[in-house]
Structure 1
């Protein structure tokens, strides 16, 4: 009996042990996962604590939401500039704002701090994980994506200098620099004129067909046609035929961006993705358009690159073509090239230059036509200068002999920068000097701030370009006269070290490579159109202009579907 009882007890113990083992297996897994999650949370907490200890405690607005911080007040970015400026007036030219999921972001509106930031950009201040994903999705791993040298490959300071230029971004910029030299742009000026005069001829025909001296023309579409055909011919030796009415997949997709609506869901995903970057890959209606655009531009650039490779192999490309954008890309792709670019980098560069040349120029030209339509006295003064000059100016004359045209162009670039905001994360600890002391959260006055590794920073280009504290009480006005003499630029604005005291082309190592190209094209097209046509708002001078959606923010007449800007255009005779 005792033997049987002992056996039974032993059997029960064995059964319980097996059940216990079976039960503890998943528990061990769950425990492990919990432990890893706890460890991750601890590491994150330590990093956050370190950042807060090593970063100057700055004043700023309270957080209305742990999840979104003040993010919903800053969408869209063009309208956020007003909010950034209001906070700068309240808290000082450097302050911090609550971001998503309890994070903080430092906002720089101080000229000296901004100059310091840009001088160290791509090394101390690098793309955020969110921006790296978005940039790769749109254009691939090209010039916009490249950091200094990827931090995974980063070596000691002394070794880096001993190796010379292994810097990804500098290598890619240097390979393309000849395409944007003064000599190269001088050769391309005739291309700018050709596109402008082609548009002029088509508009003349449209006006003639109305049996009057004017017509309503949706100018944003035409500025897009001009910019696409120009970058196609000037950069890639390819005529898209957009001005001739030839449909292109790129323009159709850009039109789709303008018609898309901003939804609460898309905004929420966009804001959360800045803390959880993988969310940038969420298949929203906008992200699907981005992928479609990426594919379309990729197909176009692949065809253009393949054609140029064949021409190079056949010895068709001459010296001039080798100095074009596409010629330099193919040259840099050669295995023995000093500034070798991989096929992936070549493709990405071509996409960047095609998109940048198309989107930013069409936006700037559209804003120019809107502003001169709203300010007929500026339009008249500009036309008088152009007519008095006479024949179409050369590239050098465009640069130096037409001061009011130069003033109008730079006032548009000041008021309406195509890229309104610039975000980065600190890759190392830094000390940022200030042009004027600010008061910290504890009440202390400081003339510099400490920024810890991992801190997020933002510069609102639109805010700084239009800041009353920097540009004076008339900063929000379209006033080209401010550019006609040095006295028109306030002392504070002169502390901004970007092109002509603007941040439109950013500054430092990432200064826009194509700014000379862009300004020459801008001046040429505007000159031809203003000499030949008078522009008026279709619905009168009280017409409300707002910002519509696009790959970049685009102007639009309020109430119009998509990013449409219908103006009354009449011949100047």
Structure 2
């Protein structure tokens, strides 16, 4: 063959080949660098973190995360592992990641004291919160969180909530009037009422009026766009299960939260809708604000404080984006958490008719509707029932954070490490994922005693009703329901006052029973937060048999 007959590559083809080889080398270099960083971090984490024992991986991909997500009682799983491995242990997470679980009151107190500075939101939490609610109180950290929280604190003082008690009563009596009408139209003096939707309506109308001087009108049957969206969550349980798997994977790769799914699209739509409502409410309130009349009181309302913080000369200035984000967060918190707790209260009272009767007797003996201060101090059994519900059924079952600095966490009792040594403190390396299993702590046999799983309001009425170990838990009334530390729930007293007021009105006027008997099974459905649902019902249905108390 002649040399001249051998085809030579064109200059363009040769350059393309060289460029592709160069690109391949660059890609290999980046891959090697990424692997080196990952391996270095893993080695550092292993060297600086106390290696604890824990349950074995049940899934190569998910660790034990899918088991926890699909369980009807993840708190019992965390508690069982604490019994086996000690008050601090590790669990395998998604794609080889490890999470450190704290089940010790002293360790948890240390953790919460350093929350928002040493322990911060995980990248997944930040991505989801920002997409749904913007950069408000739930999303912010460090100094930004302190500033936003301080700006809102006056709206949740005792003085502010005292003025809002009439709003709580108004919503409760609207529901009572509607139920009276339903029962009057029945033939047997009672009716089956799906109570969870009604608790949703009470909560939404209450936060609308109390927080933003706006009546959503859901107790009168009006269907605002935000209520329709809230009700959509949890109605499709199959889709919710698929989306939860998506979230598990996103815990390792937060960037995939940008991929549209049914749930992420719902959150996006909810964010847009709440943003539009918030903009409308803010525009109206700015327009109606009269600096000469009631300005000092207005500035103590939620929306008044938000408007005040917009001023450039405000001591605790918030941007317009932050103001709208606060309103979104307050709408969600006012709607979700209180309605879930009220629903659980009606379920437990329907299961325990003796407790329901005793509570009604206390309320009737008191007479007229109590004031805010009387609600706090003069109805001990109502207080006991409310806190027993908050203990057994916290709206948030667990709490996850990321360590952004090395730390040493003390323990109240020693644990055995992976190597077999005993230690009374654990070293935490930067980058560690931390978990506080709220429900497990609230219902732990080791902390609350042998009747920890039972609905027993009496435990709150005697000095020895709460054991020594439970008294070591630092949180509202030794509960982690409202978490603790710098990020403890700002609206705690607001929520408890509303909870007590609504429960008081309903129990004084109605008798509640499970539609299918006291042993009717109840399961957990996935809404925005986990919600109760009677087994066999669609969506988040909780039908109870309701009749007037005569």
User: Normalised by the shorter chain, which TM-score bucket?
Assistant: over 0.9
In structure 2, distance between residues paired with 1:122 and 1:192:
32
Alignment match, 1:485:
462
Alignment match, 1:37:
31
In structure 2, distance between residues paired with 1:546 and 1:19:
65
2:62 is the alignment partner of 1:68: yes
In structure 1, distance between residues paired with 2:545 and 2:67:
35
In structure 1, distance between residues paired with 2:333 and 2:182:
29
Report if the CA contact (8 A) 2:237-2:539 is conserved: no
Which aligned segments of 4 or more residues in structure 1 are displaced greater than 6 angstroms? 11-14
Q: Deviations along 1:519-556, whole A, 9 cap, x unmatched? A: 00100000010000000000111100011121001111
In structure 2, distance between residues paired with 1:169 and 1:76:
33
Alignment of 1:461-540 (within 5 A): 461-540=438-517
Alignment of 1:219-298 (within 5 A): 219-263=195-239, 265-298=242-275
2:79 is the alignment partner of 1:102: no
In structure 2, distance between residues paired with 1:129 and 1:77:
24
Superposition deviation, residue 288 in structure 1:
1.4
Return the match for 1:391 from 368, 374, 380.
368
Superposition deviation, residue 24 in structure 1:
2.0
In structure 2, distance between residues paired with 1:216 and 1:117:
46
In structure 1, distance between residues paired with 2:457 and 2:405:
41
2:550 is the alignment partner of 1:570: no
In structure 2, distance between residues paired with 1:48 and 1:75:
26
- The number of aligned residues is 548
Superposition deviation, residue 249 in structure 1:
1.4
Partner of 1:75, secondary structure, is: helix
Report if the CA contact (8 A) 1:333-1:340 is conserved: yes
Partner of 1:283, secondary structure, is: coil
Superposition deviation, residue 34 in structure 1:
1.4
Alignment match, 2:80:
86
Alignment match, 1:147:
141
In structure 1, distance between residues paired with 2:11 and 2:180:
92
Superposition deviation, residue 499 in structure 1:
0.3
Alignment match, 2:129:
135
In structure 2, distance between residues paired with 1:502 and 1:120:
18
336 and 23 in structure 1: CA distance in 2 versus 1, 3 angstrom threshold: same
Alignment match, 2:390:
413
In structure 2, distance between residues paired with 1:141 and 1:87:
36
User: Any stretches of 5+ residues in structure 1 without a counterpart?
Assistant: 149-166
Report if the CA contact (8 A) 1:250-1:296 is conserved: yes
Superposition deviation, residue 88 in structure 1:
0.8
Report if the CA contact (8 A) 1:424-1:457 is conserved: yes
Return the match for 2:300 from 305, 317, 323.
323
Q: Deviations along 1:99-148, whole A, 9 cap, x unmatched? A: 11111000111111100000000000000000000111111100000011
Superposition deviation, residue 39 in structure 1:
0.4
Alignment of 1:100-249 (within 5 A): 100-148=94-142, 167-249=143-225
14 and 561 in structure 1: CA distance in 2 versus 1, 3 angstrom threshold: closer
Q: Deviations along 1:456-507, whole A, 9 cap, x unmatched? A: 0111111111111111111111110000022100111111100000000000
In structure 2, distance between residues paired with 1:285 and 1:360:
23
Q: TM-score, length-normalised on structure 2? A: 0.97
In structure 2, distance between residues paired with 1:459 and 1:115:
11
In structure 2, distance between residues paired with 1:78 and 1:493:
24
Superposition deviation, residue 33 in structure 1:
0.9
Report if the CA contact (8 A) 1:55-1:450 is conserved: yes
In structure 1, distance between residues paired with 2:244 and 2:308:
42
In structure 1, distance between residues paired with 2:22 and 2:59:
36
- Judge which range, 239-248 or 58-67, deviates more: 58-67
